[in-house]
Amino acid sequence: MKSAISAVMALTLLLSSNLFFTSATESTPVYYCDENYIYEILPNETISIHCYIGTETHVNIPSYIGNYPISTIESLAFTGTDVVYVYMPDTLRTVKTEAFAGCQSLQIVRFPSKVKNPGDGIFRNCRNLHTVMMNSSTQALGKYMFYACENLESITIPYVREIPKGAFAHCSSLKSVSLPEGVKTIDDYAFFGSGVKTLSLPSTLQAIKSYAFADTLSLTTVHLIGGDMAYMDIAVTAFKNSAFEVPTPEIPPTEDNTTPDEPYPPSTGNPDPTEPKPPTDDPTTPGEVQPTEPKPTTPAETLPTEPVETQPTEPMGPPPTDATDTDTAPTDPVRTEPTLPPPADYIPGRDYNFSSYSDTEEMNLYYAALNTAENNRSYLASLAWNVRTMGDVNMDGGVNIKDATMVQKFSAELVSKNHPDFSFKNADVNTDGKVNVRDATVIQKVVAGILSGFV
């Protein structure tokens, strides 16, 4: 009887422990680690990859890890890695901002078809990327998606409705672009500063926005499949500094806008003999204007005039200039050259420059992203619950009374969970989802040899 009661109590304790742990994971991300990825199991029971930590250069991202489908790749997940080839599965629904930014060795990518809202700059500054495989059912491109991909020579653009802002800006090797039917808008700066020479536009295209093809110095040929560019909504600056001239619409003649082919000649006082003569009051010579003698004037008829007072005028300086020039590409505020070491507060998705683009500045931003990505990997690896050293609370490589003391300080709120010498996952030695004096007691028993190890 006692054994049965004990079994029930043990089962109750186990269930209550699991319930607590489950509720804790709903508000606190729980990370895991294998030989290739640091990942998180999301509340919808899919996996989000936070970091790639593998050594393979040809990476086939799996559709599943265990029984959980991979749905998300987080920002900077692959930044700074040496991957050359990446295959992304169609289980992916989200690829976040700059997930592959700065992968200098990346050459070939297979992009998934079911990502609806790609993050900004997913392949930013992947300078050796030359081949991108996209399924025709790919639903969307991201803003700045291939920004500064210098070796991207060609790409088959899927059936999307919009070429987003800056998607192919500074792709200097991109020579020929053919947009499929269905594309309605080419957004601001979409191909700014690219090497495009030949462009094919679909009949569904309705608008080309500001600076979309500005600074495409080699663009000379534009083919339009149906329709007429002259009647599209094309921004004045859409082709600024390109070799292509946008045609102007031909307005059909109407009574209101009819104009002679030649300008009117200057008046000479002699009527044109071919023009009909105006009628006169003289019945003997209808239609003929009789010359009249000029009426002489006498001094008495001339009215005296008073001198006009003139106001003194100040010397005129140069004409004022307008600070804003609508015909000039907008430039970012003047910034000083970034200094190394790179900033630690790098935020993905910022500092996309166009007319003020600087290769040196872009590389320094890359080093900043690299620094941030490395910090992310180290930090998230320390949080991976399946890779931990139980009892080593202060992470000094051993388990001793100092670790028990650190747990007690945490329980007394003398140190926080984010303290650099405190590891929550290593401190939770009884794996109940919380750290308290019970964990400190277990550590003390292990150190004293009362317990042989952690269960």
Q: How far apart are CA 140 and CA 157, in angstroms?
A: 10
**263 in any annotated domain:** no
What percent of the chain is predicted at pLDDT more than 90? 41
Task: Point out the domain boundary residue: 219, 234, 249.
Answer: 234
Specify which of 189-198, 215-224, 316-325, 364-373 reaches the highest per-range mean pLDDT.
Answer: 189-198
Q: What's the domain count of the chain?
A: 2
Its domain, for residue 406, covers 401-448
**215 in any annotated domain:** yes
**410 in any annotated domain:** yes
Local structure of 327: helix, strand or coil: coil
For 136, the token pair is 């025709």
Task: Point out the domain boundary residue: 234, 263, 283.
Answer: 234
| 20-45 residue pLDDT tens | 233 333 456 778 888 899 999 999 99
**315 in any annotated domain:** no
**306 in any annotated domain:** no
Cβ 173 vs Cβ 195: under 8 Å:
yes
Q: Which residues contact 45 (CB under 8 A, 6 or more apart)?
A: 68
**How sure is the predictor about 89, in pLDDT bands with cuts at 50, 70 and 90?**
very high
Q: Which residues contact 11 (CB under 8 A, 6 or more apart)?
A: none
**How sure is the predictor about 223, in pLDDT bands with cuts at 50, 70 and 90?**
confident
Q: Which residues contact 91 (CB under 8 A, 6 or more apart)?
A: 63, 64, 69, 70, 71, 112, 114
Before 341, cis peptide (omega within 30)?
yes
Say how many C-beta atoms besides its own lie within 10 A of residue 272's C-beta.
Answer: 9
pLDDT score, position 420: 86
| 357-382 residue pLDDT tens | 778 888 888 888 888 888 888 878 77
Say how many C-beta atoms besides its own lie within 10 A of residue 20's C-beta.
Answer: 13
Task: Point out the domain boundary residue: 234, 266, 299.
Answer: 234
> Is the model's pLDDT at 83 over the cut of 90?
yes
Between CA 60 and CA 150, with CA 127 as vertex, the angle to 5 degrees is: 125
Q: Which amino acid is at 55?
A: T
**How sure is the predictor about 123, in pLDDT bands with cuts at 50, 70 and 90?**
very high
Per DSSP bridges, beta strands 221-224 and 207-208 are: unpaired
| 124-140 residue pLDDT tens | 999 999 999 988 788 88
List Cβ<8 Å contacts ≥24 apart for 134-141. 134/158, 135/90, 135/111, 137/113, 138/111, 138/112, 138/113, 139/113, 139/114, 139/115, 140/115, 140/116, 140/164, 141/167
**Per-chain mean pLDDT for the chain:** 77
pLDDT score, position 231: 72
What percent of the chain is predicted at pLDDT more than 70? 70
For 79, the token pair is 């930044």
Helix (H) and strand (E) counts for the chain? 5, 17
197: left (phi over 0), alpha (psi -120 to 50) or beta: alpha
> Is the model's pLDDT at 398 over the cut of 70?
yes
| 239-285 residue pLDDT tens | 998 888 776 655 555 555 444 443 333 434 444 444 444 444 444 44
| 306-317 residue pLDDT tens | 554 544 444 444
Question: Which domain CATH number covers 190?
Answer: 3.80.10.10
Task: State the first-to-last Cα distance of the chain, in angstroms, to the nearest integer.
Answer: 27
DSSP state letters, 343-377: PS---TT----STT--HHHHHHHHHHHHHHHHHHH
> Is the model's pLDDT at 13 over the cut of 50?
no
| 329-356 residue pLDDT tens | 444 433 333 333 444 567 787 778 887 7
**383 in any annotated domain:** no
> Is the model's pLDDT at 173 over the cut of 90?
yes
